[in-house]
Amino acid sequence: MRYVLVAILVILFGYSLALVLQNGTELSVDLLFTQVPAMRLGLLLLITLALGLVLGLLLGVQVFRVFQNSWEIKRLRKDIEYLRKEQIHAAQLAAAEAAAHTRHEKTVLDVHTEDRSSNAL
């Protein structure tokens, strides 16, 4: 992977150098805050290309971060809903178990009460 990246950088550097050498015409450039009386066209192209790449990457990273946060929020909401359903199911099982245990205790108490009343007679 490192060699591929180095190869791409060498190709970009060669392309940039060829662009500057092929476009040697000098221009007057107004940069809003300053005036450049003479700048080579190839250099101007490289500067605008570099600025466009940097701004595009920065905006792309910010947009991706927004999407990433949105995806994370959706995933967490699904997890919360799943855990909520799981908790409700566990509570229902516990309630059913408690009701069955109460019925069992009541039946055992009834049997013991009947035994005592028949022994008393």
Q: Identify residue 118 by its one-letter amino acid code.
A: S
Block residue for tokens 């908790």? 87
Block residue for tokens 């013991």? 112
62-102, pLDDT tens digit by residue? 888 888 899 999 999 999 999 999 999 999 999 988 888 77
- What's the structural domain count of the chain? 1
Per-residue pLDDT, 74: 95
70 is in which domain, residue-wise?
2-120
Per-residue pLDDT, 5: 86
Both tokens of residue 113?
């009460």
Q: What is the 3-state secondary structure (H, E, C) of the chain?
A: CHHHHHHHHHHHHHHHHHHHHHCCCEEEEECCCCEEEEEEHHHHHHHHHHHHHHHHHHHHHHHHHHHHHHHHHHHHHHHHHHHHHHHHHHHHHHHHHHHHHHHHHHHHHHHHHHHHHHHHC
